[in-house]
Structure 1
Amino acid sequence: MRLRNKPWAKPLIAENPQYVVTDPAALRGNWQSRFEKEQPLYIEIGMGKGRFIVEMAKKYPERNFIGLEMQTVATGIALKKQIEAKLPNLQLVCANGSGLTEFFEPNEVSGIYLNFSDPWPKNRNEKRRLTYKSFLAQYEEVMQPTGHLEFKTDNRGLFEYSLTSLNNYGMEFDQVWLDLHQTPDLTDNVMTEYEEKFSQKGQPIYKLEAHFKH
């Protein structure tokens, strides 16, 4: 969903280079230099307004997190949260997430999160879906052999497509949820803005965790 233009977003990003990276390719292989401590690195592709990645960084101080987002306004909203929280284990990136192998070296990433990605429902747009095989190849390259991919969506069509795509690619599923919020003992779940909105309406949230075979 495209957000309305906010004239304050670009200047705010420019004023806070300690939190936002606008040239991620320049940091390829050297991301740990952006953090207080060298720790396992996890990335969210399409962080939106940043609720998930900010809450994850608060919950897991022993990990470093990067939120990637191509929309300037969404990055600005996420940045406001980080300015308030000042988390030493969180960096934001305002760039297009399709160039992961340009931004990260092989094995530089410990895990990848995809939350409520654009479903691109028309067949002609299949290659834009973040679980399409060309994206999976990038995830496999930048992730460590022990790394995991986590994917959440409210879109059943995209979820079914993703299960097939990951399976055809040869990935192994660790767990699959067809209605995440009906799962007993859901204490570890960190919600996105979309997730809260949709689950409150009673819509099922689909989730999978998977890894590449090595």
Structure 2
Amino acid sequence: MRLRNKPWAKPLIENNPDLIVTKPSEYCGKWKTRFEKEAPLFIEIGMGKGGFIMEMASRHPENNYIGIEIQTTVAAIVLRKQIETRLPNLQLICANGSGLSEYFEENEVAGIYLNFSDPWPKTRQEKRRLTYKTFLKQYQYVLSNKGCLEFKTDNRGLFEYTLVSFNNYGMNFNQVFLDLHKDEEAMIENVMTEYEDKFSKKGQPIYKISASFKS
């Protein structure tokens, strides 16, 4: 999701430091101080309009959640919703998702969500894909030993690339779905993103991978 910067976005973020962080490295190892209670921490990299991460936080009050977004306007759109709902187990970060190992301590995160990430389809753009090996190295660092990485996309090319990337990195595949919405059992717990809802209504298959790193 790419939006032009809105003049109201930056001031909104600056005026709500209790809900959104712009210098996440300052909280490395101290994220529990941002929440009402200490709990397993799950993060989404690239949170779109926030539908997924907010629904997860609402459904699972036993966990803490952080949505990460690099674009100021997009982050501010989610922030407006959080100002209204005030979910106590949700925090937001407006920063580049490529800096995870600076934002979180080793083993600090229980789970990572990558939902409908930019496919960066050109060969020269490979290093920008969120499932490229340098990103996987950071995920491995911040995830706990039992932590899980969940990936969803409608882009078959990115899905196939991710399968190979995970395999080459030596990851364990917990689940692989070629058409998630045709699996009734998987859909019971599935939380859709805005993109997922849009694409699935058009009849496009949704691909999903759940994987973990070998200890």
Q: Same fold (TM over 0.5)?
A: yes
Which residue is equivalent to 1:145?
A: 145
Which residue is equivalent to 1:27?
A: 27
Which residue is equivalent to 1:106?
A: 106
Q: Which runs of 5+ in 2 are unaligned?
A: none
Deviation at 1:84? 1.4
Q: Which runs of 5+ in 1 are unaligned?
A: none
Which residue is equivalent to 1:8?
A: 8
Between 1:66-75 and 1:180-189, the stretch displaced more is: 180-189
Deviation at 1:5? 2.6
Counterpart secondary structure, 1:187:
helix
Q: Distance in 1 between matches of 2:84 and 2:180?
A: 30
Number of residue equivalences: 214
Counterpart secondary structure, 2:6:
coil
1:73-117 superposed Cα distances (whole Å, 9 cap, x missing partner) = 110111111111101100000000001001001000000000000
Deviation at 1:188? 0.5
**Normalization by structure 2: what TM-score?**
0.98
Which residue is equivalent to 1:190?
A: 191
**Normalization by structure 1: what TM-score?**
0.98
Report the RMSD for the aligned CA atoms in angstroms.
Answer: 0.7
Asked if 1:86 corresponds to 2:86, the answer is yes
Which residue is equivalent to 2:51?
A: 51
Q: Distance in 1 between matches of 2:85 and 2:188?
A: 22
| Structure 1 outlier segments of 4+, above 2 Å | none
Asked if 1:126 corresponds to 2:126, the answer is yes
1:142-183 superposed Cα distances (whole Å, 9 cap, x missing partner) = 100100000000000000000000000000100001111111
1:176-210 superposed Cα distances (whole Å, 9 cap, x missing partner) = 01111111131111111111110011111100100
